[in-house]
Chains A and B, each alone.
Chain A
C-alpha cells in the first residue's frame, strides 16, 4: 500500500489530473512525454531500489499506478527469493 501511495503521488505531481484512477493508462491518456518516461523509470529505480533491466522496459510495466506497483512488487519478490536461494 505504501508503494502504491508513493507511485500515485509521483504521477499526480506530473499530470495534474485530479480524477486519475489507479487503473488509468497514463500512456493512452497522453500524459507521458519523453522526459516523463525517463523520470518514471528513474523514480522506480531510486524509490524502490530495483534495477530496471532492458527487458523490463515495456510500456505494460509502467502504464498505470496498478501496473507499476505490480512491477515493483515482482522485482522486490524476485530479489528476495534470489537471496534465499543463495
Chain B
C-alpha cells in the first residue's frame, strides 16, 4: 500500500474480523489475534474508528463492551443495510472525506460492494490487518492525537444538544458559550501547527504544508508572524483548530496560509480569525493581501473570503491574489467571545526580534 493519503478513519466489520466466529451463531467469545492491540494503536495515533456490521445492534454493542472496546468506535453502524451506505453515513457524521477511510472486512463480497459504490475507500482483508498497522506505524503519537477521539465524542454530545434545541440558529450558537482564542505559538505548539497544515484540506486557503522546522525558521526571521487559534465551548475544548502564517512588511500584511480544522466548520467561527487579521492590517495602515490556491476541496474557504468583501487582485490559473480594501470590516458574531493578543503588544514583540 503506497497510497500517500492519510488514513483518518478505520471502519471495522465485526464477525470474523474483530472477533472469531459469527456472534448470532454463538461466536464472538474470543477476539481475533492482534485486534485489541491494533484498535488501541490506531486510537493513540488519532485515527478514528467505527463499525459497519450486519448484526443486531444491542447484542453486538454489548459484546464489544464485554471486550472493553465499545468506547473506541464512533457512530457505529450495526444494522442490515448495505455497508457502503453505512460508511457514507459514518463519513457524514465525522465530517471527513471518504478518501481518508479504510474498511476492514473478512468477506470479499462486502469489500467489493463498498469498492463498487465508493471506489475511494481503501478496502482491506481482515487477514491483512498487519499491512494497515505497518502503514500507520510512522504516524507519531502526540497529546493531540491521543485526545482526538474524545474531541469527536464531545462533538457527538453537541449534536444531541443541537437536535433537541428549540429556537433559531443564532440563539443556539449563543447557548454554546463559544470562546475563540488567538495566540502566538510557543515552540511546543509548532508540532500541532505543522500537523494541521498537513491534515486540513477543506478550510485551507493555499494548502501549503509547513514542517515544524519551516515554522521555526519563519518565526526566527522576524518578518513573519504565525498565529494559532483554539476554540472552547460549554462541552469542552476543540483544541488548536486554526493556523495563520502572515508575511509582514512595512506596507503589507500578506496572508500566506489560513486554515481552520473542519471540526469547527459548523460553528460559524470561520471568519473570526480573518476579521482579526484584517483589523490588525487596518490598525497598522497596511494593505491586506491573501494568497489563494483553488482546489476541488476548498471552495467553502473561497466563498468565505469573497463573501467577506475580498476581490481578486491578480489571477494566474488556480492561483489568486485576493485583497481587501479594509473600509468595511464585518463585525465578529456576538455569540463568540474573542480572546486575542492586543494588537499593539503583538507589534512590539515582533519588532523586538
Cross-chain contact of A34 among B269, B294, B312 (Cβ < 8 A): B269
List the 8 closest pairs (A to B, CB-CB), nearest first.
A34-B270, A57-B306, A37-B307, A33-B268, A35-B268, A16-B168, A34-B271, A33-B333
| CB closest chain-B residue, reference A55 | B312
- Residues of chain B within 8 A (CB-CB) of A55 are 312
CB contacts under 8 Å to A, within B250-265, are: 265
- Residues of chain B within 8 A (CB-CB) of A33 are 173, 268-271, 333
A62 touches B170 (CB 8 A): no
- Residues of chain A within 8 A (CB-CB) of B173 are 33
- Residues of chain B within 8 A (CB-CB) of A41 are 303, 307
Cross-chain contact of A30 among B304, B308, B330 (Cβ < 8 A): B330
Query: How many angstroms from the CA of A37 to the CA of B170 in the assembled complex?
Result: 14
Min CB distance, B174 to chain A, in Å?
12
A residues lining the B interface (CB < 8 Å): 13-16, 27, 30, 32-38, 40-41, 54-55, 57-59, 62
| CB closest chain-B residue, reference A52 | B303
B300 on the interface (CB 8 Å rule)? Answer: yes
Digit string of B295-331 for contact with A (CB within 8 Å is 1, else 0)?
0000010111011110110000000000000000011
| CB closest chain-A residue, reference B270 | A34
| Also in contact, A35 and B266, with CB within 8 A (given A14-B169, A57-B302) | yes
> What are 27 A-to-B residue pairs whose CB atoms are below 8 Å?
A13-B168, A14-B168, A14-B169, A15-B170, A30-B333, A30-B334, A33-B269, A33-B270, A33-B333, A34-B269, A34-B270, A34-B304, A35-B265, A35-B268, A37-B304, A38-B303, A54-B294, A54-B312, A55-B312, A57-B302, A57-B306, A58-B306, A59-B306, A59-B307, A59-B308, A59-B309, A62-B307
Query: How many angstroms from the CA of A59 to the CA of B350 in the assembled complex?
Result: 34
- Residues of chain A within 8 A (CB-CB) of B302 are 54, 57
Query: How many angstroms from the CA of A15 to the CA of B311 in the assembled complex?
Result: 26
Cross-chain contact of A35 among B270, B312, B330 (Cβ < 8 A): B270
Query: How many angstroms from the CA of A21 to the CA of B323 in the assembled complex?
Result: 31
B168 touches A32 (CB 8 A): no
| CB closest chain-A residue, reference B336 | A33
CB contacts under 8 Å to A, within B131-173, are: 168-171, 173
Between A30, A34, A36, A40, the greatest number of chain B beta carbons within 10 A of the residue's beta carbon is seen for: A34
Given contacts A33-B333, A35-B270, A54-B306, 15 further A-B contacts (CB under 8 A): A14-B169, A14-B170, A15-B170, A30-B330, A30-B333, A33-B270, A34-B304, A35-B265, A37-B308, A38-B304, A41-B303, A55-B312, A57-B306, A57-B307, A58-B311
